[in-house]
Amino acid sequence: MHKRRMIIVATILMVLIITLVGRLVQIQLVATESFSKHHVNLIEASVKQRSQVLKIDDGRGKFYDRNGQPLAHEEIPTLVLFPFLSKMTWPADEVARIIGSSEQALITAVANAKEPFAFGGDTPIQLSLSQSKAINELKIPGVFAVNQKIYGEDRLAAQLIGTTVKSDALKLERYPDLNLSPETRIGDKGLQRTFDEFLLSEGESKLVFHVDASGGPLFGVDVKYVEPANPLYPVKVITTIDKEIQEKAEALVDQYKITNGGLVLLDIEKSEIVAMVSRPALKKDDPNGIGSVNMMATQKTPGSVFKTITAAAAIDYGVISSSRMFNCDLTIEGKVDQQRPLGMLNFKDSFAQSCNRTFAELATEIAEENPNFLEEYAKKLGIIGQVGWSGDVYHTQVTQLYREQSGKVWHEQALKKDKKMIAKTAIGQQDVQTTPLAMANMMATIARGGKKEQVKAVSKVEFNNGTTVVDFPNQKIEGENISPYTTIKLQQLLRGVVTEEKGTGALLQNLPYEVAGKSGTAQTNLETGKLNKWFAGYFPYKEPKYALVTVSLDTTEQSSGMTPLFADVVKVIHQLDSQ
């Protein structure tokens, strides 16, 4: 009996030892880089436990404006201090003299630190090049001047550039063949998403110092600078945004208290987005909220800006003449217009004063000959279908703009035969939807003589050493264009909106640049009286450089129109161009 008990105990002990050894083998040899269901890298965790680390750069590619200025982050030369300095004698007075601070402030900051930090708290002091050089020439262990990449709360062109996430599920779904760290961020929205394959981190840049249990030096006082093995990374995504113009555009949109809407400014010759502002603003604590949606790439009802489409068709179909007059005291249904009677107007004045009756009448006439004409001309001027750059890059289809919507003219094809529906559609109501970006591109198309081109948000991607990974050439939008003759007539009509005494853009007459454009007010909810207010145009009129759309969405009759904001943007551009 006693012998049997000993055998049982020995067996249990043997099983426990084998289990323990097996567990140790698993931890030490088998699952060191992916332990447990959480896939913990035990080697990294062990190193992290006995190290003090200051991350200089997460290794993900960065965004820059067209002039090489950083967007979405700042590159700030900062003073980095390590906690082990409190356990040694170091020339704090010399460092304080270089940066213009007090010696005691440095000593106190180090004494209170538990990990490496950039001196200055939440807003680290920014060093000059000479200060950075002087500090590093001292060669003090634990004291460094480094360029640290800092992500601010308020980011420019936030919806265009987009957001990132750490989602393990998304990483596995998108990159099943890559062994990405749990700390690796991937693109979720905007250009962060569409250029994610270029932007993926090849490893962090960091300062590492090994410590003992008390935080003291483990192997002397050497601090190692660790950077990605591939010196070509992180890449630089060179956007078409002009940082200075973007900053001023965002300030103006907020000054006009636009809470839903924004503006888009295009370089006509290069077909590039110079500035794009979308409101509601993106909130850092709510990255998936309404503020994450880029309103400039989202379908909206355009109202009378769409009359530009109807006007193009009317010119081509020959249904207008200088002598033909339209009764603009009537509504599109033929009733007396109690709100905005305009009298008898010719076609040019009808466009300048935005007479609904004229364009409803012309559209129903043309529809008898061609029921599809509104859709055809909307395509010719590029307001339906995507206008963002899309093409083949290294045998992969790249679409620059994230979830750009396409726009439409008709919701149901049967409505093309209904005269009331044709009349409403001709003035940009009923089912008509287009994006502010597409409207800006329509103005650019007219300004450049009828040539439709895709719009770029990124001009090229560069390696870290400045060599080009890929650039994005100008590309045409496929399909028919309007004729040169029709283009010239549209240019004259758009200029008349501003120059005519009663034109809806008369407020823009005395700007430093001559402007051509079209206003629009679209009813979006009859019960609540909500409106979309637009002004779309281009400037300078004779030598066009910029196309601009300003828009306030789901606003009220009492709110300001969009011509004052348009005017202020033109003034800013002229001022910057004159410098």
Q: What is the pLDDT of residue 527?
A: 82
Q: What is the pLDDT of residue 219?
A: 43
Residue 211 has pLDDT above 80, yes or no: no
Q: What is the dihedral of CA 527, 299, 158, 166, to 10 degrees?
A: 100
- Residue range 236-240: average pLDDT? 97
- Residue range 206-222: average pLDDT? 57
In the chain, count H helices and then E strands.
18, 22
Q: What is the pLDDT of residue 47?
A: 45
Query: What is the DSSP-derived secondary structure letter of residue 454?
Result: P
Tell me which of 36-40, 42-46, 466-470 is least confident.
42-46
Residues 327 and 411 in one domain: yes
Of 112, 133, 150, the last residue of a domain is 150
Q: What is the pLDDT of residue 38?
A: 47
Most confident of 49-63, 71-85, 131-145: 131-145
Q: Across all residues in the chain, what is the average pLDDT?
A: 89
Distance CA 300, CA 167 (A): 32
Is residue 37 included in any domain, yes or no? Answer: no
- Integer-rounded Cα Rg, in Å, for the chain is 31
Distance CA 512, CA 281 (A): 30
**Is 278 an annotated catalytic residue?**
no
Is residue 34 included in any domain, yes or no? Answer: no
Is residue 409 included in any domain, yes or no? Answer: yes
Domain span at residue 128? Answer: 74-150
Residue 351 has pLDDT above 90, yes or no: yes
Phi, psi torsion values for 352, nearest 5 degrees: -65, -40
Residue 238 has pLDDT above 90, yes or no: yes
Tell the residue number behind the tokens 């919806």, with chain if given.
159
Q: What is the pLDDT of residue 114?
A: 84
Q: pLDDT, tens digit, for every residue of 391-406?
A: 998 888 999 999 999 9
Neighbours of 453 (CB within 10 A): 22
Distance CA 45, CA 552 (A): 51
Query: What CATH number should be reported for the domain holding residue 193?
Result: 3.90.1310.10
Of 150, 179, 197, the last residue of a domain is 150
Could you tell me which residue, 13 or 288, shows the higher pLDDT? 288
Q: What is the pLDDT of residue 42?
A: 44
Could you tell me which residue, 430 or 46, shows the higher pLDDT? 430
Residues 300 and 439 in one domain: yes
Q: Confidence band (pLDDT; 50, 70, 90) for 222?
A: low
Residue 345 has pLDDT above 90, yes or no: yes
Q: pLDDT, tens digit, for every residue of 443-480?
A: 999 999 999 999 999 999 999 889 999 999 999 999 99
Longest dimension (CA), the chain: 123
State percent of the chain over pLDDT 70: 88
Q: Which of 205, 278, 304, 390 is catalytic?
A: 304
Residues 398 and 362 in one domain: yes
Burial annotation 470-494 (CB, 10 A radius, 16+ → b, else e) = eebeeeebeeebbeeebbebbbebb
Residues 176 and 89 in one domain: no
Q: What is the pLDDT of residue 44?
A: 47
- Residue range 317-340: average pLDDT? 95
Residues 297 and 391 in one domain: yes
Residues 146 and 198 in one domain: no
| The model's pTM | 0.86
Q: What is the pLDDT of residue 210?
A: 66
- Residue range 271-291: average pLDDT? 94
Q: What is the pLDDT of residue 52?
A: 64
Q: What is the DSSP string of 99-163?
A: HT--HHHHHHHHHT-SS-EETTTTSPPPPPHHHHHHHHHH--TTEEEEEEEE--SS-TTHHHH--
- Residue range 167-175: average pLDDT? 93
- Residue range 261-278: average pLDDT? 98
Q: What is the pLDDT of residue 22?
A: 61
Distance CA 107, CA 102 (A): 9
Q: What is the pLDDT of residue 306?
A: 98
Residue 25 has pLDDT above 60, yes or no: no
Residues 300 and 261 in one domain: yes
End-to-end CA distance of the chain: 102
- Residue range 260-289: average pLDDT? 96
Is residue 138 included in any domain, yes or no? Answer: yes
Residues 133 and 164 in one domain: no
Residue 505 has pLDDT above 70, yes or no: yes
Q: What is the pLDDT of residue 434?
A: 98
Is residue 20 included in any domain, yes or no? Answer: no
Query: What CATH number should be reported for the domain holding residue 313?
Result: 3.40.710.10
Q: pLDDT, tens digit, for every residue of 92-136?
A: 999 999 999 999 999 999 999 988 888 988 778 899 999 999 999
Is residue 5 included in any domain, yes or no? Answer: no
536 - beta bridge partners?
518, 549
- Total count of domains within the chain: 3
Could you tell me which residue, 26 or 164, shows the higher pLDDT? 164
Tell me which of 76-90, 185-199, 451-465, 480-494 is least confident.
76-90
Residues 349 and 419 in one domain: yes
Residue 300 has pLDDT above 60, yes or no: yes
Residue 206 has pLDDT above 80, yes or no: no
Could you tell me which residue, 462 or 49, shows the higher pLDDT? 462
Residue 165 has pLDDT above 70, yes or no: yes
- Residue range 250-273: average pLDDT? 98
Residues 80 and 111 in one domain: yes
Distance CA 167, CA 172 (A): 9
